[in-house]
A and B are shown apart, each in its own frame.
Chain A
Amino acid sequence: MSDFIIHVTIMSGLYALLALSLNLQAGLGGLMNFGQIALFACGTYGAAIAFHFDFGAVSGFVLAVLAAALLGWAFASVGRNLQADYWGIVTLALAEVIRIIATNEDWLTGGAQGIGGIPPLYAGLDGQTRQLVILATVLLLVLAAGLFCRHLIGGRYGLSIKIMREEPQLAASLGYDTIALKRQLMAVSSVLAAVSGFLFAHYVSFVGPEQIDSSETFLIWAMIVVGGLGNNAGAIVGAFLLQFTFAFIPFVKDWIGLPSEYVAAGRLLLTGGGLIAFILFRQSGIVPERVGGRRYV
C-alpha cells in the first residue's frame, strides 16, 4: 500500500510541475493554452529519442528543454495578434498535429507502439529505496519550481505580466513589449513542462502517443481552476487533490461493485464536474490569487 501511495505522490508531483507551468501562462499571463500537453511531449519524447538513438540522458535533457522552449516561443509567436479564445483553439490544433506526427513517424518516435525500456532514474539503487529517492527528487523539484514561480510573480516581471493580462493596451502604452513578454513567459513555463515530461519518461520507462492526448491538457486545466487560477500553491494543491482522487476511484468502484468502464467515466466526470462546480460556485478556486499585499519589487 505504501508503494502505491509513493507512486501516486510522484505522479502528483509531476503533474504539479505541469500545473505550475500552465498556471504561469494562464493564471498569471491570461494565455489560454490548450496545448500544454505538447510541451510535456517535448520532455517525454526528448528523453525517449535520446535513448533510442543512444545520445545519453544529458543530451536528452538538453534536447527536451530546447524543444519545449522553442515550441513555447512558437506558440506565443503564432498567437501574437489573436484573441484569447482563438489562440486556445490554435494551441489545441498544434498539440493535436504534434500527437499525429508522433503516432505516424515510426523511424523517429516508434509510432503507435512508442519507445519502451528507457533506463529508470537512479538505476544503481534497488526498488524501494529508488522509489523514495525519486519521490524526494520530485518533491524537491516541485518546491523549487514553486519558489521560482513565486519569485517570478512577486517581482517586477510578474507585475509587467499582470498588467499585460489585465490591460494590454495600457501595458503597451507604458512601453512594455507585450509580444516579447508573452514569448518569454511561454518559453520559461515550457521548460517546467519539459522537466516534468523528461522525469515522467524516465520514471515510467515508456513513451507513447496516447500519453499526450488532448484530454490530459484538460485535466491540467481542471487542476489549476480547482486549485485557484493565478496562485502557485493553488496549482500544486489542485494537482495533488485530483491525482489522489483519481487514484482512489478504482477502489471505490470495487467497493460499490461497478464495471470497469466506470473508472474512466469517473475520471471524466470529476474533471468536468469539478471545473463546472468551481467556475460556478467558487471562481477563485481553493487557494485564491492574492491581489495586492506584500511584494518584493
Chain B
Amino acid sequence: MFQFLVDVLMRACDLMLVAIGMSAVYSLMKFPNIALVQYAATGGILAIVLQKIGAPVAVAIVFAVVLTGLVAVILNEFLFNRMLKIGSSTAMIGSLAVSLVFSAAFLVTVGPNPSRFRLPVSKPIRILDARITEPQLVSFAIVAVALGVFALLYFRTDLGRCMRATSTNEVLADATGINTARMKTIIVLISGVMAALGGVAIALKGEVDIQIGMDLLLPVFASAILGGLGNPFGAVAGALLISLVETVVTTINFGPLMGQVVVFLPVAYASAISFLLLVAALLWRPRGLFVSEVKRV
C-alpha cells in the first residue's frame, strides 16, 4: 500500500514542475506553450551531457537549469512575442514548430540512444515496506524545494504580487505602474527553470531519451488543464490526480470482475486513461477543477 503511494508521488513529481511551468506561463502569456516539454528534455539531457564532460552532478544541474531558463527567455523574446501579435493559436502552432526543431537538435547532438547520470549504485532504502532509492529521494527533494520556493515567491513577495496582478488584469496592472513586459519575461524565465528542473528530476530517476519531451506533452497538458490552466498550484493537484489514475489503472487486478484470476490492463493504457480524463475534464469542467468563479452570461 505504501509502495503504491510512493509510485503515485514519484510519477506526480515527473509531471508537476513542468505542469506548473506551463500553467504559470499561460497565466501571463495566454497561450499553451508546447515547447515547454522540450525545455524539460533540454534540462535533463544538458545536465547529463555536462556531467559526462566532467562537471560534478550539482554543478551540471545548476548550469543546465540556468541555461535552459535563458533559452526560454531568448525564444520568447524573438519568436513567441512576435507570434502572439498574430494570435494565440498561431503562437501555439509556433511553439509546436519550435519543439520539432528541438527534437531535430537532440537527434543530431545526442543521438537516439537513451542516456543517464553516472551515479554510484546504492541499495534501496526500505521505508514502511516501500523500496526507495537514493536518487528518487534526491529528485523528490528537488521537486519539493522548487515547489516551496515558487510558492513563497508567488504569494509572499512583491514580485509575485505583481505577477498575479498582471495575470488577473493586464491593463489595470499596467495602469498601476507595473512593468508588465518585465513580469512576462520573469515568468517565462521561471517557467523555463521549473521545466528544466522537472527534466532533471526525471533524469535522476532513470534513463532519458530524446523522446522524453513529446512523451510528457499530453500528461503535462492534462495536469495543467485539470488544475485550471493559468492557476499554477492547481497544476500540482492536477499532476497528483493524473498520476493517481495512471497508477491505479495499471496496478488494479481486474481479474475478479471478469471471472478470471489475473487481468491487468496493458501499461500503455495508463496514458490513454489519463488522456480520456483530460477530455472528460474539458467537457464538463473546461476551466479546471478548482475554478469557482461564476461566469457572467
Q: Knowing A104-B266, A268-B100 are in contact, say whether A279-B279 is a contact too (CB < 8 A).
A: no
Question: Are the C-beta atoms of A275 and B225 separated by less than 8 Å?
Answer: no
CA distance A128 to B264 in the complex (A): 50
List which B156-197 residues lie within 8 A (CB) of chain A. Answer: none
Tell me if B89 and A85 are in contact (CB < 8 A). yes
Q: A269-B101, A271-B100, A272-B100 are in contact. Are A86 and B286 (CB under 8 A)?
A: yes
Instruction: Say which size band chain B's interface belongs to.
Output: 35 or more
Q: Verify if A148 is at the interface (C-beta below 8 Å from B).
A: no
Is A81 part of the binding interface, using a Cβ–Cβ cutoff of 8 Å?
Answer: yes
CB neighbours (8 Å) of A168 from chain B are: none
Q: Is the CB of B93 within 8 A of A261?
A: no
Q: Are A265 and B269 in contact (CB under 8 A)?
A: no
A176 CB → nearest B CB, Å: 20
B253-297 interface (Cβ within 8 A of A): 266, 268-269, 271-272, 275-276, 278-279, 282-283, 286
Determine if A250 is an interface residue (Cβ-Cβ < 8 Å). no
Given A82-B286, A90-B282, A276-B101, the answer on whether A261 and B268 have CB atoms closer than 8 Å is no
Task: Name which of A82, A84, A89, A265 has the most chain B CB atoms within 10 A of its CB.
Answer: A89
Nearest B residue to A214 via CB reads: B214
Whether B89 lies near A32 (C-beta < 8 A) is: yes
Contact with B along A96-112 (1 / 0, CB 8 A): 11001101100000000
Q: Are A261 and B111 in contact (CB under 8 A)?
A: yes
Alpha-carbon distance between A121 and B88 when the two chains are bound, in angstroms: 43
| Contact A272:B98 (CB < 8 A) given known A32-B89, A97-B272, A103-B268 | yes
Contact of B93 among A103, A214, A275 (CB under 8 A): A275
Stretch from B79-87, B126-134, B231-239 forming part of the interface with A: B79-87
User: A222-B97, A280-B79 are known contacts. Are A265 and B108 too (CB-CB below 8 A)?
Assistant: yes
Residue among A78, A81, A268 facing the most chain B CB atoms (10 A cut-off): A268
Contacts A268-B107, A279-B83 given; indicate if A92 touches B218 (C-beta within 8 A): yes
Pairs of residues from A and B, 3 with the lowest C-beta to C-beta distance, nearest first: A272-B100, A275-B97, A268-B104
Give 18 pairs: A residue, B residue, CB < 8 Å, sorted on A: A30-B89, A32-B93, A81-B286, A84-B89, A85-B89, A92-B218, A93-B222, A93-B278, A266-B104, A272-B97, A272-B103, A272-B104, A274-B97, A275-B93, A275-B94, A276-B101, A280-B82, A280-B83
Point out residues on B near A: beta carbons under 8 Å. Answer: 31-32, 79, 82-83, 86, 88-90, 92-94, 96-105, 107-108, 111-112, 214, 217-218, 221-222, 225, 266, 268-269, 271-272, 275-276, 278-279, 282-283, 286
Chain A residues within 8 Å of B, Cβ to Cβ: 30, 32, 78, 81-82, 84-86, 88-90, 92-94, 96-97, 100-101, 103-104, 214-215, 218, 221-222, 225, 261-262, 264-269, 271-276, 279-280, 283
